[in-house]
Amino acid sequence: MLIRFPQRKLLIAACLCLSGGFGFGKELELWFVPMSQEGPQKAGLLQWVKENFPKELPKGITVAPNYGPPIYQDAQQKFVVQGRRGKPDVIEGVLEGMIAYQKAGLIAPIDDLLNQWPEKDHFIPSTIKALTINGKVYGVPYNTNVRVLLYRKDLLQKYNLQPPKTWEEMLADAATISAKEQNVAGLALTTKAGSVRTFQEFISFFFQVNGGQNPFKYDEAAKKWSMNTSADKLGQVLALYHDAFFKATPAAVNQNTRGNDYQATDADYVAGKSAMVPMGPWIYSYRKTGETARKILEENTGVAPLPLPPGGSQATYLEVKPIMINAATKNKQESWNVIKVLCSKDFVAMDAKLEGINPPRQDVADLPDFKSDWWQQAFTQQIATGVALAPINWGLVVNDITEALQKVIYQNNPADKVGEELYNTLQQRAQNNQL
């Protein structure tokens, strides 16, 4: 029997209500770059996403199986343009991106939610501090790392060298290896223009010179950023790069590798083409790419803190990856529930193991698996010396710094002069409110 018109309308309305409100629950949009990437290194994570992620989510919440752009830069640009419409509800990113989102008012502070979460105290304080801007927390960390010095134990031993403790020792040891070991550079540095890795290496050395301080500080009275360093200090770091490429013959760093980006730096180390390199923990995943890489990383690599300049302090770049909530989302509580899953002990432990990076949670770092892992321990010991970037727009500063660095290593310009130019440029940016 046919259902009469008014009843049919009511039935359709009821079905819509059920499907929207109760049957399927709320579907959130999550952008999580590693979940959008492919390749053998991501297989474990993708399998977890497919099989376990839906089960881990609280009842009534689903996440759309499209995790946004697979590249951080793309995700950042798209979120800046479209974030105000409320989608994605949850976004994972890098610290520099979080700072831009906070400036644009695109992400919500989460202090109230975080403070009520019993697991809050398991996070390493420096990683939460890195995500705090003007006293408010804008993200929960799920991944962290610092820069250290990787060195080839076998090569240092061969030439009776100890892991260097000062810049001077590092350059001298590297020059010795460059001179004596065929086709191996003593040291490798990333120096591509505009490259984030180039900047991260530079800023690690800079933090040591600048007493673990950022190059800018916020002037409360003037309500703007001002310089927190000197031209001499910038020049001192630039001089390190100059000396690395030019002081000795053959040089500590192979001059033909000027302009290298991270792919070449990483590939050269695991291929045995360099003996020392400032590096993060991710390179350990290369051990699956071949026997040479495995042998170098598992048997012949040592980890040491970055060598120090005269009078410098132990400091290094701290990378923290946060998960944030869109300020315009209509599902703040549900978004927070998704974050709790992705920052849980289980997920952080699994992700740190898979990606070879460090956990920002102390309870994960204390797990037997991590305690007995020499690689994890070597990096975790340095996390306390990590310095987070100040909450400014680093985009233009990255370009300024990498350009200054290239002026020194290509045109062989005096480091002090370039340091002064760089200081003036950065000061002008601060004065013009471009930070």
Partner 1 sequence: MERNSTTRYSNELKTINCKRLIPLKRWFEYLGTAEVRHAAFGYALLAPAVGVILGLNLYPTLTGILNSFTDQSLLNPNAWRFIAWQNYQKLFVDPVFRVSILHSLILTLSAVFLQVALGLAVAHLLVRKVPGIHWFRSVAMVTWVLPIITEVVMFRFLALPNIGLINLLLAAVGLGSMARNWFGDPSFAFLLILVMHLWRNVPFYGVAFMAAMQAIPQDLYEAATIDGATAWNRFRHITLPHLRYIILVMVVLHITFTFNNFDFVYLSTGGGPVDATEVLATYIYKQAWSGYMLGYASAGGVVMLVTLVLLVVLSRRLIGGFAEQ
Of 279 and 354, nearer to partner 1 (C-beta) is 279
Is the distance from CB of 72 to CB of 93 less than 8 angstroms?
A: yes
How far is residue 298 from each of residues 303, 343, 393, measured CA to CA in Å? 11, 29, 38
When the beta carbons of 193 and 367 are compared against partner 1, the nearer one is 193
Shortest distance (Å) from residue 305 CB to partner 1: 27
Question: Are 166 and 382 a contacting pair, CB within 8 Å?
Answer: no
Closest approach, Cβ 173 to partner 1, in A, equals 20
Binding residues for partner 1 (CB under 8 A): 73, 77, 80-81, 100, 103-105, 183, 191-195, 254, 256-260, 263-264, 267-268, 271, 273, 393, 395-396, 398-399, 402-403, 406-407, 410-411, 434
Select 76 or 385, whichever has its Cβ closest to partner 1.
76
Q: Whole-angstrom Cα distance, residue 36 to residue 67? A: 5
HSE, CB side, 13 Å, CA atoms: give it for residue 373: 20
Least Cβ distance, residue 343 to partner 1 (angstroms) = 26
As measured in angstroms, the least distance from the Cβ of 355 to partner 1 is: 22
Q: What φ, ψ does residue 152 adopt, rounded to 5°? A: -85, 110
Q: How far is the CB of 157 from partner 1 (least distance, A)?
A: 23
Compare residues 100 and 130 and give the one whose CB is closer to partner 1: 100
Nearer to partner 1, 213 or 413 (CB): 413
Nearest partner of 233 among 201, 194, 261, 205, judged by Cα: 205
**Can you tell me the distance from the alpha carbon of 68 to that of 31, in angstroms, rounded to the nearest whole number?**
5
Q: Which residue has the tokens 């410098």?
A: 312
**CA atoms of 263 and 429, how far apart (whole Å):** 31
In the complex, minimum distance from the CB of residue 432 to partner 1, in angstroms, rounded to a whole number: 10
Between 46 and 104, whose beta carbon lies closer to partner 1?
104
Q: For partner 1, which is the closer residue by CB, 19 or 263?
A: 263
How far apart (Å, rounded) are the C-alpha atoms in residues 376 and 353? 9
Provide, rounded to whole angstroms, the least separation between the CB of residue 393 and partner 1: 7
Closest contact distance (angstroms) between CB of 189 and partner 1 is 12
CA-based nearest residue to 82, from 32, 35, 29, 136:
29
Nearer to partner 1, 10 or 71 (CB): 71
Residue 124 main-chain phi, psi, to 5 deg: -65, 125
Backbone phi, then psi, for 228, in 5-degree steps? -130, 30
Q: How far is the CB of 122 from partner 1 (least distance, A)?
A: 33
**Identity of the residue, 46 or 193, whose beta carbon is nearer to partner 1 in the bound complex:** 193
